[in-house]
Structure 1
């Protein structure tokens, strides 16, 4: 997801320097795994398109206004290439501490259980999964992205209300939403401001 206007950041934050590379490259690295059948960057930025081309990552450029447009265009493009998808994951481009291993763990929900050799797809085909962190002695976890939708939700993701994203379905089906807990809450942090980006870089260098 790279179509945001970055009003709070003041410029195209996905191209901002983060440890010597554009910030978006961190998301490209986190999703560079054979466990994903396909991926695509959806953006309004010609500069982001050029970066994706240089990195060899498919990119879809559009000029539509809403978050719902980004979701629909990205999903349609993926399904055109891979109509057999078991699910889809939405990942923002400004979450630079997210690890590839975390993405792979989420994707693994739709694979084979290597111990029992049982295919888990039938168990998960009506579920939604989101990344979360549980604080000690706090019943309310920190939740965020990525969010993984099984294919059962593809039709609804393509007709989201104007300006809305996939969180509409999380609120509509709360009983089907499952948190995938991680130990490092920093993986959930995003860079909405230059100050936030600087803090994330400080954490990375520690």
Structure 2
């Protein structure tokens, strides 16, 4: 069993996996094969490897996504109003966090290039700067995900609504944001269409 430091144990990871994959024309981007496993399971595995408290936001009818999480030590959070936008997943996940949590790393579940080391990088900076908002960027400084929020902002995150996520929170607290560069385009790559998946696989042969 992986050992975590006390700081890692007081951090939570919130994996956002309640989107509809509406641009996949009947497919599900979170079930696409990446390194031999469904993308959702891969990212949940990275999260579970570095953090004791992992919550996965899911639609209440999504048995396919539930099934790929079987056997993992993650907590599934049902988001009954997920169709209303990302903010509703954030709100539902934050509401389920244990009281002792010092911060939450928000990880969209559709980012196939994010690695376990990327998550560890974010955690290490949180350990050094526990009151900062940490936002991952590409190697050339374009802001992306994950974003790590300290616990003093949980109240604002619980009050979110609509499909803009936490943009307003980031804007209101811009002075607290610290940008964390991850390799290449790890913090930016998300794939929403079959054509995007095909192009990505052709560009990144395994």
User: TM-score under structure 1 normalisation?
Assistant: 0.81
Question: What are the residue-to-residue correspondences of 1:164-183 with 2, within 5 Å?
Answer: 164-183=164-183
**How far apart are 1:92 and its partner, in Å?**
0.8
Conserved? CA contact 1:39–1:78, under 8 Å: no
Question: What are the residue-to-residue correspondences of 1:123-138 with 2, within 5 Å?
Answer: 123-125=129-131, 127-135=132-140
Question: What are the residue-to-residue correspondences of 1:100-115 with 2, within 5 Å?
Answer: 100-111=116-127
Show the counterpart of 2:19.
Answer: 4
The structure whose Rg is larger is 1
Question: What are the residue-to-residue correspondences of 1:1-206 with 2, within 5 Å?
Answer: 1-10=16-25, 11-34=27-50, 36-44=51-59, 45-64=62-81, 65-79=84-98, 83-111=99-127, 120=128, 123-125=129-131, 127-135=132-140, 141-205=141-205
Distance 1:134 1:204 in 2: 17
Distance 2:197 2:85 in 1: 25
Distance 1:55 1:202 in 2: 30
Conserved? CA contact 1:132–1:182, under 8 Å: yes
For these two proteins, the number of residue pairs brought into alignment is: 186
**How far apart are 1:156 and its partner, in Å?**
0.3
Distance change in 2, residues 1:24/1:203 (3 Å)? farther
Distance 2:70 2:139 in 1: 38
**How far apart are 1:155 and its partner, in Å?**
0.4
Q: Larger deviation: 60-69 or 174-183?
A: 60-69
Instruction: Identify unmatched segments of 5+ residues in structure 1.
Output: 112-119, 136-140
Deviation beyond 4 Å, 4+ runs, structure 1: none
RMSD of aligned C-alpha atoms?
A: 2.0
Distance 1:162 1:188 in 2: 22
* Cα deviation digits, residues 65-89 of structure 1 (max 9, x gap): 332221111112222xxx1111001
* Cα deviation digits, residues 137-166 of structure 1 (max 9, x gap): xxxx31111000011110000001333311
Instruction: Identify unmatched segments of 5+ residues in structure 2.
Output: 1-15
